Chains A and B, each alone.
Chain A
Amino acid sequence: MSSSAAIGAIDHHHDPSTSTGIPNKKLLMWAFLASDCMFFGCLISTHLIYRLHPPPDVPLAKNVFSIELTSFSTFILLMSSLMMALAVNAIQKGNLKSMRWSILTTILFGLIFLGCQVYEFRNFVFEKHMTISNSILGSTFFTLTGTHGIHVLIGVIWLTSMLIYSFTGRLSEKNAIDVESMGLYWHFVDIVWIVIFTAVYLLEYL
């Protein structure tokens, strides 16, 4: 059997060298994501609690939000998740070139999402006059979506580092777990946005 065929037999879902059968990096990432669930859970519930009992002078969220822009951001983030999944699939097959293109597209989509968020924040502050400190809606909204935006930014930096690292020749199918762990983080950012999109934006339009 040639070396490439031998590599093709790598089982990326199980690692017999660990006591759990799960690669340690993957286990660490899942544990981190579980803890991050609680972090975002608290931020989302804080926002929803204040939306339950809004003070009389709070601006009407429906008049502030732009559902078209947010829907576009959601679509972009979903597509970035697809590209990330394809990047992991490519490196698991040893296709470095395809992985690079997929990661590059994921970075591009991540940057578009961040650009939309910056535009949205600017619009809220300068056009709608809603800041982080002048209303309870602004405080909870900017804290929640800003924290998510920082997660996206960290993801983009991580993706860029991985893309640069892939050119050193040290990234191969054998350490596909590094790309997979990064992929788990990126998909998590996507699922948090799925919840935010419904709980923060769509519910305001009912």
Chain B
Amino acid sequence: MSASASSAAVAEHPLEESKFSLYVQIAMLLAVITGLELVTVYLPFVKWLLIGVLVVLSTVKFLFVIFYFMHLRWDKLFCTILFFIGLVLAGATMWALLKLFGADAAKPLETSLLAPATAVRAWWV
């Protein structure tokens, strides 16, 4: 490749040259965040705060991987929309299920309460 052609190609895609160091920096950041998550679970704070911190940290990791390693940042917006449709549907289903089964009425019956009930024969038998 001639020098002029090479510089022309780099000028067209300046990001390509810096991606290697960018990827390494992101990977180091992800490793540090994982370490922070580990430390977080042993901190003597209220549970809801720790859960919030863990959710934020894992969301940051998630977003770094999909936008940089999976190239969503440089790809067409449609790829992001397509993936987020699945993600939002999955997230909404999880939220709905956890709300439904988190209610007091959804708690499973105690075994002692359940045993006599199963012994009752149905009216049509």
Contact = CB atoms under 8 A, between A and B. Distances in A.
Interface of A: 1-2, 4-5, 8-9, 11, 13-14, 20-22, 26-27, 30-31, 33-38, 40-42, 44-46, 48-49, 52-53, 55-56, 67, 71, 74-75, 78-79, 81-82, 84-86, 88-89, 92-93, 180, 183-184, 187-188, 190-191, 194-195, 197-198, 202-203, 205-206
Interface string B81-101: 011011101110110011001
- From DSSP, what is the main secondary structure of chain A's interface residues? helix
Interface band, chain B: 35 or more
A93 B16 contact: yes
Nearest to B97: A45
Given A1-B8, A46-B97, A194-B62, 12 more contacts: A5-B2, A31-B82, A67-B41, A74-B34, A81-B27, A82-B24, A82-B27, A190-B65, A190-B69, A195-B58, A202-B54, A206-B50
A191 B78 contact: no
Given A2-B2, A35-B86, A52-B101, A180 B71 contact: yes
B78 A22 contact: yes
A205 B41 contact: yes
A37 B90 contact: yes
A148 B68 CA distance: 22
Interface of B: 1-2, 5-6, 8-9, 12-13, 16, 19-20, 23-24, 26-27, 30-31, 34, 37-38, 40-42, 47, 50-51, 54-55, 57-58, 61-62, 65-66, 68-71, 74-76, 78-79, 82-83, 85-87, 89-91, 93-94, 97-98, 101-102, 106-108, 111
